[in-house]
Amino acid sequence: MPANAAFTDSTTIEKQLTAAREAIASLKGISRVVLTACGGSHAVMMPFEYFLDTNASSFEAKVINAAEFTSRNSSRIDESTVVILCSHSGTTPETTEAARFARSRGALTVAFTFDPASPLAEASEHVVAYQHGEGKSEAHIAPTLILRLVAGILDDRDGTTLADSATKATATLNDRAPAIRADYADRANHWGFESRREPLIYTMASGSNYGSAYSFAICLLQEMQWVHSAAIHSGEYFHGPFEVTDFDVPFIALIGLDETRPVEQRAVDFLQKYSKRALVIDAQEFGLSDVDERVRPVFTHIIFNIVLRAYADALADHRGHPLSVRRYMWRMEY
């Protein structure tokens, strides 16, 4: 870890994660787990709704934008609800207000943030301060820690045995992530050069991977590159969006390893038939045979995030537009 690293150490993070899991396990009963955030953090939450929904038998799971979570004022938020929140800076007003609202209704709150002294952390009962930036442990970033928490909830509430497999899978990322980046470096660079002047790029996925496509569209393309984009759900592709498909319309389509893979494959088959600008990223190329097949599908989205970031970095380089540049965000009141 470099001397100037300002993130929480791994030992402390492990204690925070354990405390959050134990607090949830101590509840008399849970009827629902709500995952709420905004923007990229909202996208981070999406795969875990899928993971919980396909594995839980005694409670329901829902992901919802933080502003809507509060304004919707659902009567189902009560002392039997666990609310998991995420904001990188911990200063997102909507997410902080969501934590306050959830607590006012008796729900137990767990916040994931980079800054353990942030407003979100202060507004929540439990905080897990993940790492980010140079020197971070890939096993202690937001998606890996949230995966471990929700797997622990499933074990504690429904008697599954997923938490150990989730922990083992995420522990491989410190070696796996650099290898994945190296494997896709040339492909990302080629795509970035070819796409440097594209005004619009669509992304498409479903299931566990839709959050990765959504994040790439709204954060990396729209926010960070000012490139028009839309995230298309593969299951919705044939119900309107496929009409924009043409030989020169660029798409990035993801094919994952969960139950919705046939849905994604069907959309990709059509896309490749009618577009010459379809970039397809298939998780079967990720080499995840060593990961427990029960957590492999949701773990896949973490790898998609790493791969897509490589493509975004290459695009930014060839466009001469750093990912850090903003027109409005953090520059004015909004």
Helices (H), the chain: 10-25, 39-53, 66-72, 93-104, 119-123, 142-158, 163-171, 173-194, 210-215, 224-225, 261-274, 296-319
Give the pair of three-digit tokens for residue 107: 């729900």
pLDDT at 228 (0 to 100): 98
pLDDT at 6 (0 to 100): 80
List phi, psi (to 5°) of 276. Answer: -95, 5
Domain ranges of the chain: 10-169, 177-319
pLDDT at 166 (0 to 100): 98
pLDDT at 96 (0 to 100): 98
pLDDT at 216 (0 to 100): 98
pLDDT 10s per residue in the chain (334 long)?
333 458 899 999 999 999 999 999 999 999 999 999 999 999 999 999 999 999 999 999 999 999 999 999 999 999 999 999 999 999 999 999 999 999 999 999 999 999 999 999 999 999 999 999 999 999 999 999 999 999 999 999 999 999 999 999 999 999 999 999 999 999 999 999 999 999 999 999 999 999 999 999 999 999 999 999 999 999 999 999 999 999 999 999 999 999 999 999 999 999 999 999 999 999 999 999 999 999 999 999 999 999 999 999 999 999 999 999 999 988 888 8
3-state secondary structure of 45: helix
d(CA 256, CA 262): 9
pLDDT at 200 (0 to 100): 98
CA atoms within 13 A on the CB side of 318: 16
Q: Largest Cα–Cα distance of the chain, in whole Å?
A: 57
Give the pair of three-digit tokens for residue 50: 């899928």
Q: Say how many C-beta atoms besides its own lie within 10 A of residue 161's C-beta.
A: 11
What single letter denotes the amino acid at residue 39? G
Look at the alpha carbons of 198, 181, 258, 215 in this order and tell me if their dihedral is positive or negative.
Answer: negative
> Is residue 299 within 8 Å of residue 147, measured between CB atoms?
yes
CATH of 10-169, one of 3.20.20.70, 1.10.1060.10, 3.40.50.10490, 1.20.1250.20: 3.40.50.10490
The model carries a pTM of 0.95
pLDDT at 150 (0 to 100): 98
pLDDT at 2 (0 to 100): 36
CATH fold label, 177-319:
Rossmann fold (3.40.50)
Say if 10-169 and 177-319 have the same CATH topology.
Answer: yes
